[in-house]
Structure formats: C-alpha cells, structure tokens
Amino acid sequence: MFPPNPVPKNFLTTLILLGIAAPMAVAEKAASLSSVNEQQQPNIVWILVDDMSCHFGYQGENSVATPNVDRLAREGIVFSRAYATAPVCSTFRSALITGMYQTSINAHHHRSSRGKLKIQLPEGVRTIPELFKEAGYFTTNSDATVSRRGKEDYNFDYESSDLYDGIDWRKRKPNQPFFAQVQLRGGKHRNIAKAYQAICSELPTTIDPESVEIPPYYPDHPVIREDWAAYLDSVNYTDIEVGRIIERLKQDDCLNNTIIFFLTDHGISHARGKQFLYEEGIHIPLVAWGKALPESATRNNALVAHIDLAATSLDLAGIELPESMQGRSLFDAEAEKRTFLVSARDRCDETVDYIRSIRQGKYKYIRNYLPQRPYLQPSNYKDAKPFMPVLRQLYAEGKLNPAQSLIMAETRPKEELYNLNDDPWEINNLATNLDQTKRLKQFRKLLGQWQQTSNDHGRDSESEAMYDSDMKPYVEKLRSRDAHKAEELEANISLMKKWQQQGK
C-alpha cells in the first residue's frame, strides 16, 4: 500500500571548578594499560545523542560552550563527513545496531514493530551487542545517568536480554571488557533552564535568542529564534552529560583502555532537519577518542556512513565481521572506501514518504518518489513543534521569501541536485539546469544500482495490514492522554490512505 514504486567567557572555568567539565588530562598518556587493567581487548563506549546536527564548538558553533566534546575532538579523530543513513531515530538505530542499511533489513519504516506484526531480521544478520557478548564482552545500554535502561527503539523482533547483560558496566566480572551504549536525550532537552539550575544556580540559564544565527531557509521570527536558542542550550547540557560519563570512566580506572565514540542519531528536530535528507537532517557529528585507537590523522574527511560504526567497533575489539555486514571498518586499511553514500527516508509514524539521497563528492542528489505530496505532510509529531504553526501562518500570508518557502511547497520536484561547496544550505536546485543532464543520469543509474544490490525494501509497497498494526497501538496510547490529538492522528491516517487511493 505505502508507497509504490555568545556564552560568557567564564562559563568553561565555572564548569571545571564545579567538576562538571570532567577533564580527561588526569589520565596520563605514559600510564601502561597493564598497570590499569589486565584485559587485552579495549572497552567500547558509544555516546549517542538524540536530535542534534553539527552545532558543537569544535564544528565552529560560537554560541555554545562544549569543552568535553571539543576535547574528544581535539585529542581524538574527527570524521567530518559522517552521515546518517536514516533521518529518524528508530530506523537509524535499527541500522546502527546491525551495521546494515535499514532499507536492506526491512526496518526502514519508523517504529514499524510497535504492533502485533513483527519484522524478523534476515538470516545471517546479527546485532552488534550479541556479537560482543559472544566474544566475552559485558554489554550494557543505559541513559546518561548509567542507572536506567537506555533507548533501544529497534524496528525488528528481539529480546533485550539477548543483547544486553545490564545497565551498568560496573556489574561486569573483574578484567572483563565491556561494550556500552549511553543514550543522551540531546535535542529533546528544549527549554533546559531548569536542568541548568538543578546543577548549579551560578550556571547561565539560556542562550540569548537574539545572538543565534538562523539558517537562511528559516524566517527570522521570535518563535524560531527562541526555539533555536533552546536547542543550543540543549547542546551545552549534552556536553555536561558527556563530561560526567568521561569522569565516571576515569573513576573506574578504565579510561586508558576505553575507546569512546561520540555521535548523534540525526539532525535537529526542525522543519528541514529530522525526517529529511538535507544536511540539517543527516550530516552528523562523529568523533572517536581513546589511547587504544590505531595511529591516525586527527581529521578524517572521507565519506562515512553511521553503519560503519558497527564494523569499526567490532574490528577494534578483534571480533570477526559478518560477511554480509554493509558497514565498513574505518581503521581497516584494506576496507574499500566509500565513493558515495546513500540515505533514505520512508514512513515516519503516520506520515508516508519515500525519499532517497546520494552524497558524492561535492554534490547531493535527492529523489522524491512521491512528488505530488507536500514536503510537510500532516504529521502529529512535527505539527506539535512550536515552529510549525509559525511557518504555516507566514507562508499563508505570503511573508516567506523563496528560500524559506521551499519546504512549504505543496508539491515537490522529482529530483533535487545541490552543489554543497557553492550552496551549503541546499537552496539552489540544479536539477532543471541543462548543463546537469549528464550528472543527473549518472546519479539515477547509481541510485538504481544501489537499490538493486542492497535490496532496498522501499521499492515495495508497505502492506496496509502492517501499517495498521503499527498505527493502532500508537493511536490508542495517544488517546489515553490526549483524545484531541488522537483524533487528529486518525484524520492524518485517513488522509494518507486517501492520497494512496488517488495515486498521489
């Protein structure tokens, strides 16, 4: 059925004095691993943040103070061209935890194992925690406090106990290596002033909305500014959480033999970010840090897919990679380097869509398979964001300029092509330029070949039974706390089905 075919200068000083910045220099480089821990295999820690684009200090964002993440970047390896293969959490996580494209394992629809009909992983596809467990690692998944279970959200049938031994790596056996996922709420921490005050009343409460730089494809409006500033506040708070995790590892005397990966699951939850394949949605921070890392340049400009983290982590631990794994180890000199990278967006909650993108060289190609639909289709999740009513009202009143109107269009071009060197904001679509005809043909061929060889399940219609199986529990859960929102959701579902029947 769906579908066919400026922060005060004393801010950092305050954090360090409070012990929040968690300096890592205490762990002396000269300390031998054997004096700290008898284990040979390194501990692997994934710090995974929700809903954040590339807005950390080391990436040039001047409004924030992120000393802990910046230090990881300065002392570790920055992967400057890392991309999510999916711009929404559950599909991203399904891909991450298997090292496979979510489209290849039929896990490409957001939260598609919420109902009774469960998706089974293809034969031979295993999760990364299971492989670590079998290799003798203690595996954990926690929130930022390392005291509660962390987000999983995988779009296939599984038992959490098969993947994870627990929440806290301190529960492992003596000298047992551990693999830990630590999940931070990140961009979901809008309006973080209360959290700051809970830490210390001397900390700044919020970033001044007037000081932030709004992308040119959004209108300069007070609500937009306030929301963007609140998002940057959450970036600052995320850095504090990262510092606490590092400090905990240091206290446990295992930092010298731990490799930390810091990344986000996709971009900021905004109109052109989360759920879309523009840079705001899929270009993500990725940093590797640790004394156990191989010698490497401190900045890596190669194209990196987030599924490569799975292969890289196994490789660093000396665990054999499954032959079918599509992720590639970033430290294996013999691994084939990526010449292009594909990202995919499919159904997100009730909102049906089908978009693919290719990043190759300086170009981004986007294919819209449902061009007769608006970009911002009705979405119970996204329409609840404070910026959406503002955007819709300004668009209706004709107060948005051409760049700001792009995401509000009622229909889409079948193809989009951007030169990211000349047009980093992806505003000037080159797909209608006659001098790009040859390049477009090459991208079409490349995408077609990738869909064939990777077995892209987005080419097939999602059954109405599967769609309804996922959506009915969602509606009922929402109805129990907000009947009006549940009615809106049901109306959106009906509209999706109507558009499908109309061939739209």
Domain range annotation of the chain: 42-332, 464-504
**pLDDT of 20 higher than 70:** no
Average pLDDT, the chain: 90
More confidently predicted of 186 and 33: 186
Residue 24's pLDDT is 42
| 47 strand-pairing partners | 182, 262
> Helix crossing, 387-396 with 222-251: angle to 10°?
150
Question: For residues 116 and 327, is the Cβ–Cβ distance under 8 A?
Answer: no
Distance, C-alpha 267 to centroid of its chain = 6
Residues 215 and 81: their CA atoms lie apart, in Å, by: 20
> Helix crossing, 222-251 with 67-75: angle to 10°?
60
Average pLDDT over residues 372-376: 97
Flag whether the pTM goes above 0.85.
yes
DSSP string, 160-187: HHHH-SBS-GGGSPTT--EEEEEEE-GG
pLDDT band, residue 40 (cuts 50/70/90): confident
pLDDT band, residue 15 (cuts 50/70/90): very low
pLDDT band, residue 11 (cuts 50/70/90): very low
pLDDT band, residue 480 (cuts 50/70/90): very high
Residue 288's pLDDT is 97
Condensed to tens digits (0 to 9), the pLDDT of residues 206-229 reads 789 999 999 999 999 999 999 999
Q: Which residue in 211, 215, 209, 201 sits closest to 230, CA to CA?
A: 209
Question: For residues 213 and 229, is the Cβ–Cβ distance under 8 A?
Answer: no
The one-letter amino acid at 386:
P
Residue 194's pLDDT is 58
Residues 283 and 159: their CA atoms lie apart, in Å, by: 31
Residues 179 and 232: their CA atoms lie apart, in Å, by: 30
**CATH number, domain 42-332:** 3.40.720.10
**pLDDT of 413 higher than 60:** yes
pLDDT band, residue 294 (cuts 50/70/90): confident
Residue 364 Rama label (left phi>0; alpha psi -120 to 50; beta)? beta
Condensed to tens digits (0 to 9), the pLDDT of residues 85-137 reads 999 999 999 999 999 999 999 999 999 888 888 899 999 999 999 999 999 99
Residue 5's pLDDT is 37
Residues 319 and 433: their CA atoms lie apart, in Å, by: 48
